[in-house]
Amino acid sequence: MRLSDCHSFHDFRRMAQARLPGPIFDYIDGAADDEVTYRRNTAAFETCQLVPNVLRGVGEIDMSVTVMGQKLAMPVYCSPTALQRLFHHEGERAVAAAAGKHGTMFGVSSLGTVSLEEARRISSGPQVYQFYFHKDRGLNRAMMERAKQAGIEVMMLTVDSITGGNRERDKRTGFSIPFRLTLAGMMQFAVKPAWAINYLTHEGFKLPQLDGHVDMGGGALSISRYFTEMLDPCLSWDDVAAMVREWGGQFCLKGVMSVDDAKRAVEIGCTGIVLSNHGGRQLDGSCSAFDQLAEIVDAVGDRIDVIMDGGVQRGTHVLKALSLGAKAVGLGRYYLFPLAAAGQPGVERALDLMRSEIERDMRLMGCASIDQLTRSNLRFV
């Protein structure tokens, strides 16, 4: 399968599956428990239909948005995700470059495999730092100061991961960092030697944001143990309020799903919230971000920027979210599969396709700019 044969999310997913060893593909593709929420994230969009208007004289399309003070050329951004150089040796470098080329925002995770500083050098576009709150308060302060020095525009605190989700696909293969694979997991690596050659002939795997804080090679610290042992399960609203004051800039909470929590985010001074269930990877059986979007926009949308992610695979999904009041939409697996399949050219092609879909769909909807998308364009079934 060639990159030019990829025309949709599902094509990229198939290409990535053909290239990656099973444990790594399952790490991207998998979710918690029975993966009900993972499936719901995309299925939720099917409960909503678009109602187009015709003969509106749509000429130039302006799909730009401003979110948390950042001007984006398109209403989607590349959400921060962990361990990207496991999927392809370019990792966050590819994503930063592709996002910069498309004039949109991207993020680097605390579990990122390229440093904040290097990603900043690659792209001059808006950069988010996805922050996990650690038990070690000194570590938290040091990481925030480093982000300021690196020129990060938006601090994004993930609040739905105080403990790791029950990701059973990873348990079956023994996927962890460093690798502690089961026999079945090792066999799946053996049948994909091209990935292993690629991995072994490039620079060693590391987690630059945690350098000096976490020994990922000397022990058997898996990602699930990182969440369980290093992150603070007692994280409270008072802790977050202190972070917001210390950061003193654009501050976003990722993982908000209730109206009450959205209101609290406004009260403590956050400038944005991301409605997200972590791609279905945490609490299985929870609702989708799209399910919650209208209610939360109605409650706080005039006081804080409401963003959403989860299950977005098409331009029409983006238009439905924007019509309900989202300021922008985050992409995760949508760019991770193209990254795994083909590196930077894959991410660029995926973003090209998304841009083309959004532009075409806006024309078909009779909308020349994002602000013309309203709930009058939607019907729920």
Q: How far apart are CA 77 and CA 26, in angstroms?
A: 23
Written as six digits, the tokens of 240 are: 């977050």
Distances, alpha carbon 344 to alpha carbons 10, 88, 307, in Å: 18, 9, 25
Among the options 89, 102, 134, 278, which is catalytic? 278
User: Locate tokens 């802790």: which residue?
Assistant: 239
Rounded to a whole number, what is the distance in angstroms from the first to the last CA of the chain?
A: 37
CA angle 20, 26, 31 (to 5 degrees): 155
User: Locate tokens 């719901």: which residue?
Assistant: 40
Distances, alpha carbon 204 to alpha carbons 89, 114, 178, 200, in Å: 10, 11, 12, 8
User: Locate tokens 């998304």: which residue?
Assistant: 354
Q: DSSP secondary structure string, 83-122?
A: -HHHH-TTTHHHHHHHHHHTT--EEEETT-SS-HHHHHHH
Q: Is 245 helix (H, G, I), strand (E, B) or coil?
A: helix
DSSP state for residue 331 in the 8-state scheme:
E
C-alpha count within 13 angstroms, C-beta hemisphere, residue 159: 25
Q: Which residues contact 48 (CB under 8 A, 6 or more apart)?
A: 290, 320, 378, 379, 380, 381
Q: Across the chain, where does the E strand assignment appear?
A: 48-50, 65-67, 70-72, 76-78, 106-109, 127-131, 154-158, 250-256, 272-275, 305-309, 328-331, 378-380
Distances, alpha carbon 65 to alpha carbons 156, 304, 364, in Å: 19, 15, 20
- Can 213 be counted among the known catalytic residues? no
Q: How far apart are CA 214 and CA 211, in angstroms?
A: 6
Catalytically active residues, by annotation: 278
